[in-house]
Every structure is written in C-alpha cells, then in structure tokens.
A = this chain, B = another copy of it.
C-alpha cells in the first residue's frame, strides 16, 4: 500500500457524497438528490408509468447514476466505493418510487448488490410495494456457456437501462418490461481486458496486479482475476480474440443485427478504443453480422484501470427501436430520437 497521494479527493470517507453533490450541481436540469446517495430525475416520470431503479457502488463513474434521466433510469441508489448500498437505503428509494404501475429493479450480478436487492425487495413486499428484479450477468469470463449465476454484471446494464427506459416511457407494464429486458439480457455478452492497475481511492491499495506491458482478458470490475496474463498483443489481434469469444457465447445467426460497444474502463485512450472498434466491426462484418447500434465511451469505469470492455448484443427489432429511435436525456446518454 502506497502512501503517496495520487488522486484529487478530500476526506476519503466523503468521496461518494462529494462526487454525487458535484454531479447533481453540474446537471441540475436532469438529476437531483432525493436522500443520502439516492439520485433521481429532476423532472420525474408520470406516476402511471413503471419506474426503473438500479443500485451499485460508486467509483465506476459515470455509472450508474450518470444514466438517470428521461428515457433511462428513474433512480440510482449508490453505495460507497465498490460497495453495494445497504438494503435500508434501497428500501428507502423503493418507497420514494412506489406506484401502482410498479418498479423494475435492475441488479448487476455481484453478491453485495444481490443481497441488498433481495433484502430490500422483501421489505418492500411487506410494505405493499410492487417491485420485480431483473439481474444482469453479461460477463463471459467465467467460461462460454457458464450458468447465469456465475456470470457477473458488467457494462451490459447501461444499454439495458436505455431499452427499459424507452419502453417504460411508452407505457409498457411491469410484466412486459420484465420480458423485454430479459430478452435483451439473454442476448448480451461482455468481455473485459485490463492492461494497467488502479488504486482504491480510500486506501491507495492496488486493486489488481498487472506488470507494465501485460494484458489480462476477463478481469472483473473490482480486479477479480480473468483468463490469465500475457504480453500485450496488437489492437487487431485483441479485437479478433474478443469478438471470437463473444460470438462463441452468443452464437448469432448470419444476418443478425448487433449492438457493439467499446466501454473504456479508465486510463486507456479513446484513440485505442476507436482502433479496437474498427477491427471488431470488420470481424463481425466478415461473419455476415450487421452492427446497427454502437458507441465508444467510458460508460462504466474501474477507477483509472487501463483497458476496456467489449460488449456485443444480438438485437430484436423492438430493442433497435428503443436503443436508436427513442429519446433519452440522461447526462451521459443522450439520444435525440426520431
């Protein structure tokens, strides 16, 4: 553990509160705080529509609160750095969002988040709140075809917020949203690669161990080990290997329409992400697959960890409509709409 200070923070215990305060001050027309570490829309959705809620630790900015806004999330419940918020805070948010139409709670498959969600949903049920859970598990690093329970939630939650948010604005019911979301999560796969370490901002400890010039495919969002380390290969070789693994998982039929996202996790340049995207797109094209929705952006980071996540989703027509044509107005995902 290093004692050299390298980050612009103040009191390490106040990081989450301060970063959320800065965030809502920056985007006051879109988001506001509705309680300690609970971010909601500045202009709430009509009460007769289903609310989309999520939860997760801070330290992954802009995720997850960056996607609160019209056509995406209604509420993000934030824990401390890399830590799930407690069940009580989540229950408090569910009470705030309570409505007859119901609440869809998106949970990334990480043990702390799942535990908080289950406990809060039990409390909510007793309080007469209509809430259903949708768990994401897009990480394929546990192995091709591994059971959903073994697969963590990575950046796949973000386009899911876009799909669900757009469908909820249209007035879809809770059961319809659950079906639309489940169909999306069943067909999205993400793979991470890391090439550099990051430090935990509260204690300066390295959260992983990766020598310079070494890459690790499959590293998780908190430094969990992946598929082994090897010397860095070229952008094209990396993209080809990752596309191949993701296609092994998804098995897209020829002619399938896909989403392709390169999500920067921290210190890797967008220059590199563009070069990776280029080869991934060309590889998919060569397999007879068509990219119809795409994005190169830091949507879910791991502090300053160098590397990125590659996300591929096989899309239905209604997912394409919700992703590309419907308006979204969150601070870190804006779609003008058609």
Contact = CB atoms under 8 A, between A and B. Distances in A.
Given A266-B269, A268-B8, A329-B336, A275 B19 contact: yes
B23 A296 contact: yes
Interface string A239-282: 00000000000000000000010000011111111111111010
Of A8, A195, A277, the most chain B CB neighbours within 10 A belong to A8
Interface in A70-106: none
A167 to B, nearest CB: 19
A169 interface: no
Interface stretch (A120-128, A132-140, A230-238): A230-238
A43 interface: no
Given A267-B304, A327-B336, A277 B25 contact: yes
Contact of A15 (B62, B212, B271): B271
Contacts of A59: 269, 271
A142 interface: no
Interface residues of A, number: 63
A119 interface: no
Contacts of A236: 10
Contacts of A275: 8-10, 15, 18-19, 22
Contact of A61 (B232, B270, B327): B270
A335 B15 CA distance: 29
Nearest to A285: B25
A275 B3 CA distance: 21
Interface string A293-333: 01110100101101000000000000000000001010000
Contact of A295 (B8, B26, B231, B273): B26
A334 interface: yes
A213 interface: yes
Contacts of A260: 26
Nearest to A237: B10
A26 B277 contact: yes
Given A8-B238, A298-B298, A329-B336, A274 B20 contact: yes
A201 to B, nearest CB: 7
Contacts of A2: 212
14 contacts: A4-B212, A5-B231, A6-B195, A6-B306, A8-B238, A9-B271, A19-B278, A23-B274, A26-B277, A26-B281, A59-B269, A269-B301, A329-B336, A336-B336
